[in-house]
Amino acid sequence: MPLPPLNIFEKMRGLYTPVVNIRRHVLSEVGRMVVEEKPPHYIEEIPYRVIPKSTPTYRESVFRERAIVRERIRLAFGMELKEYGAHGPIHDDEEAECMKPVKILTRPIVNVIKIGCERCPEVSYWVTNLCRGCIAHPCVSVCPKNAVSIVNDRSVIDQNLCIRCGRCAQVCPYNAISYRERPCSAACGVKAISSDSEGYAQINYDRCVSCGLCVVSCPFGAIAEKSEIAQIISALKSSQHVYAEIAPAFVNQFGPLVSPAKLVVSLKKMGFRDVIEVAAGADRVVLQEARELLELIQVKNGEKNEGEKGKSPNIIRKFVGTSCCTAWTMAAERNFPELKKLNISESFAPMVEAAKLIKATDPEAIVVFIGPCIAKKEECFQPEVAEVVNFVMTFEELAAMFQSFLIDPTKIEPQKDLHDASTLGRGFPVAGGVAAAVIKQAQKISSVPLDIPYAAVDTLKDCMSLLKKLEGNKVVPAPLLVEGMACPFGCVGGPGTLAPINRARRAAQKYAKEADHQYPSDILL
Ligand code: SF4
Ligand code: SF4
């Protein structure tokens, strides 16, 4: 039996491809430059360290390979891309600012590196060499536009006549007709990617929610996000009080040999004062959203007219929408603003709640969120978030940073484990985990058994289609709780992860079960 096909989100994940290798090499070289306090002109050496050969390995020319790396270096330092076609050095006297421990990140977070884009064909059907030119050739008969003909014993599609209905592919007995969509736009659930006048991918930033899934879906590595790795390392080398808050998807991201306890020591070796679990913030979110849910149930049952917490008046609230996924809430806000305003919880994300805990113990704390998520970089543009979260980095950037500091977390002597959060809080990174946590906590708080209809979806595409149905009251039974996660399978499938999604999912679930307490209320009430 053939293996089942993988969807666009699973095809290249958890694999160490040459694209991944270049991405990490650039990040670790940039990090190393800051660790070793190299002079600014050293930045011009990095492309030659990443692409050292005189003959090309991946593209038609070594000069193009280095030109792409130069753009990646700018993004890794948090700088803007250079205008396409502009000549000049990598830096424009900006690198001095980039190597200071201050936030310089500006929008957009996710960028198309034009010189790396191969201008893949947009949606199209192509006849592959599996075509046997069969006598029946049902592809010709079924085409409503006469776009398919047999030429030299082989089926041929006239792309000018084809309307991309896919009927020919459906009827071919040899599966010889293949559907192709450029991987970047196939991965984008909010239809933010189109082509510019020359056919290069271009992002519509009015639609883009910085989920970053196009970054890990482009097989040419032509889309990349800005990084804060240089500023974070600079902060670690200064006398500032830098703390790490690590998202619950971290388990097993650095390989099965790196236990949570080893990871904590590795982070401290780089200069972090302490490390806390973002799941501790998730516990607080669970409690708030469980209370909102109970209040909504009371309103629906006619036991209450107006809520003390959550939206007011509650009578027009249809459901409690979870708020932890930035890309989901942004997509809801942009596309279904009224639905979002009335229904999605205003609780802060776990990242923010955990950062508040750190700031409460050390007002001088510089908080670095480390997680699977690129959209969290976007979330930090919100003033109330920026007040408590100083920098954001992904697990991939952390792995590169370990290389920059020449730290091998597998060889670290572990010390104490993390004990900050409950099972339910640690369950957030797996799709369905947030809804399950809120329902279980609500049931524990309530004195009577509750039957709570809910909906949970992952991927932005499915989030958008669920929101549309919710707007039209087309979900039966109408859910009282709705969880939306932009990444496939939840945060464990986030673009900043390193581990294969399935392995990360199993590891996160096992780690959640090992928590000292099951419910957030066991810790917080
Ligand atoms: S998948 Fe990559 S190379 Fe292809 S069009 Fe999109 S950005 Fe360009
Ligand atoms: S929404 Fe996500 S997939 Fe779409 S362009 Fe933005 S970052 Fe890329």
Model confidence pLDDT, tens digit, residues 107-149: 999 999 999 999 999 989 999 999 999 999 999 999 999 999 9
Residue 448 has pLDDT above 90, yes or no: no
Rounded Cα–Cα distance for residues 487 and 373 (Å): 9
Mean pLDDT of 273-292: 98
Query: Per mean pLDDT, which range of 53-57, 269-273, 329-333 is the poorest?
Result: 53-57
Rounded Cα–Cα distance for residues 290 and 309 (Å): 11
Q: Is there a domain that residue 6 lies in?
A: no
| In contact, 315 and 477? CB cutoff 8 Å | no
Q: Is there a domain that residue 1 lies in?
A: no
| In contact, 5 and 22? CB cutoff 8 Å | no
Q: 129 with 115, same domain?
A: no
Q: 176 with 245, same domain?
A: no
Domain count, the chain: 3
Q: How confident is the model at residue 309 (pLDDT cuts 50, 70, 90)?
A: very low
Return the residue whose CA atom lies nearest to atom 3 of ligand 2.
188
Q: 171 with 258, same domain?
A: no
Q: What is the pLDDT of residue 223?
A: 98
Q: 167 with 210, same domain?
A: no
221 Cα nearest atom in ligand 1: 2
| In contact, 133 and 154? CB cutoff 8 Å | yes
Mean pLDDT of 304-329: 77
Q: At what angle do helices 62-76 and 18-35 cross, to 10 degrees?
A: 50
Q: 108 with 174, same domain?
A: no
Decide: helix, strand or coil at residue 193.
strand
Q: Is there a domain that residue 12 lies in?
A: no
Centre of ligand 2 to C-alpha 329, Å, is 14
Return the residue whose CA atom lies nearest to atom 8 of ligand 2.
214
- 91 vs 193, more confident: 193
Q: Is there a domain that residue 388 lies in?
A: yes
Q: What is the pLDDT of residue 308?
A: 47
Q: 84 with 151, same domain?
A: no
- Helix runs in 247-325, H state only: 260-270, 279-300
Q: How confident is the model at residue 316 (pLDDT cuts 50, 70, 90)?
A: confident
**180 membership: H or E segment, kind and range:** strand 177-180
Q: 170 with 199, same domain?
A: no
Residue 365 has pLDDT above 50, yes or no: yes
486 Cα nearest atom in ligand 2: 2
Q: At what angle do helices 395-404 and 229-237 cross, to 10 degrees?
A: 50
Centre of ligand 1 to C-alpha 363, Å, is 44
Mean pLDDT of 153-167: 96
Here the ipTM equals: 0.90
Q: 283 with 401, same domain?
A: yes
Percent of the chain with pLDDT over 90: 88
Query: Which residues form ligand 2's pocket by a CB distance below 6 Å?
Result: 110, 187-188, 190, 192-193, 203, 208-214
Q: Which domain holds residue 272?
A: 240-525
From 180, 200, 215, give the residue that closes a domain: 180
Q: What residues contact residue 361 under an 8 Å CB cut-off, 6+ apart? A: none
Residue 72 has pLDDT above 70, yes or no: yes
Q: Is there a domain that residue 3 lies in?
A: no
Rounded Cα–Cα distance for residues 221 and 219 (Å): 6
184 Cα nearest atom in ligand 2: 3
From 230, 264, 288, give the residue that closes a domain: 230
Nearest to 97 by CA among 45, 27, 34: 34
Q: Is there a domain that residue 86 lies in?
A: yes
Q: Is there a domain that residue 13 lies in?
A: no
| In contact, 320 and 343? CB cutoff 8 Å | yes
195 Cα nearest atom in ligand 1: 5
Q: Is there a domain that residue 445 lies in?
A: yes
Dihedral sign (CA 222, 227, 233, 234): positive
Which CATH number characterizes residue 145's domain? 3.30.70.20
Q: 431 with 510, same domain?
A: yes
Residue-averaged pLDDT of the chain: 95
**DSSP code for 344:** B
- 303 vs 161, more confident: 161
Q: What is the dihedral of CA 350, 193, 66, 400, to 10 degrees?
A: 10
Q: Rg of the Cα trace of the chain?
A: 25
**Within 13 Å, how many C-alpha atoms sit on residue 365's CB side?**
25
Residue pLDDT, tens place only, 141-154 = 999 999 999 999 99
Q: 112 with 135, same domain?
A: no
Centre of ligand 2 to C-alpha 328, Å, is 12
Q: 245 with 354, same domain?
A: yes
101-106 contacts, C-beta under 8 A, 24 or more apart:
101/231, 101/232, 101/234, 101/235, 101/237, 101/238, 101/240, 101/366, 102/231, 103/228, 103/231, 103/380, 103/386, 103/390, 103/391, 104/78, 104/79, 104/231, 105/78, 105/226, 105/228, 105/377, 105/380, 106/80
Q: What is the pLDDT of residue 341?
A: 95
Burial class from Cβ neighbours inside 10 Å (0-12, 13-18, 19+) for residue 64 reads middle
How would DSSP label each residue in 51-107? S--SS-SSSS-HHHHHHHHHHHHHHHTTPPPPPTT--S-S-SS-HHHHTSSS----S
Nearest to 192 by CA among 105, 110, 125: 110
Q: 306 with 441, same domain?
A: yes
